[in-house]
A and B are shown apart, each in its own frame.
Chain A
């Protein structure tokens, strides 16, 4: 069975500093990995994904994530945090194996990012 771990419930960072939100995963075969962001009372907004190719994936709003196969990690990063980045972030994984039953995502528990001015 696949699983995702986000070890930090909350990450605090000062505006302008780099941020990292951690994610590790477990899945059979090659993973497809995703990051979503959720603002209060809103749905999940897709940020970026890793399917194959370059380990460093660039996404929306200046975010990027690095796929590390040996460490089974997919940490989300941004060089300079903004107050408006404060939100709930979810990492998700699905296997790359063909599955005609659908696109079953497994989510991590979420990490709340607080960026202080």
Chain B
């Protein structure tokens, strides 16, 4: 029944070693989001894809990149992880229509990233 799937659930990487987190969805939603969440704080939006259009938040570091090869998959690439990038990374999806109809964001279980 999983609708938003994130792999792996736990990821350990070394300082400066590139890492990729993945997200897939079975909901056929056209919008996908990546959030960073630290220490039970509110999730912070990094960027999102509206269909194939990439939208970066103004304060997202260049170290964070994303790819969306198709509707179902979205990847978060951290090019050179620092200790401060250790966090829970949450993927979410929603369905948006140009008519203005809004829909709920559904979250995956998250990937907890540890940087050694």
Contact = CB atoms under 8 A, between A and B. Distances in A.
Q: For chain B, give the interface size range.
A: 20 to 34
Contact of A46 (B50, B90, B104): B104
Interface in B41-95: 41-43, 45, 48, 50, 55, 88, 90, 92, 94
Given A90-B42, A110-B40, A112-B40, A103 B110 contact: no
B45 A43 contact: no
B43 A101 contact: no
A94 B101 CA distance: 13
6 contacts: A34-B104, A88-B40, A90-B42, A100-B96, A102-B94, A105-B105
Interface of A: 32, 34, 36, 38, 41-46, 49, 51, 88, 90, 94, 96, 98, 100-105, 107-110, 112
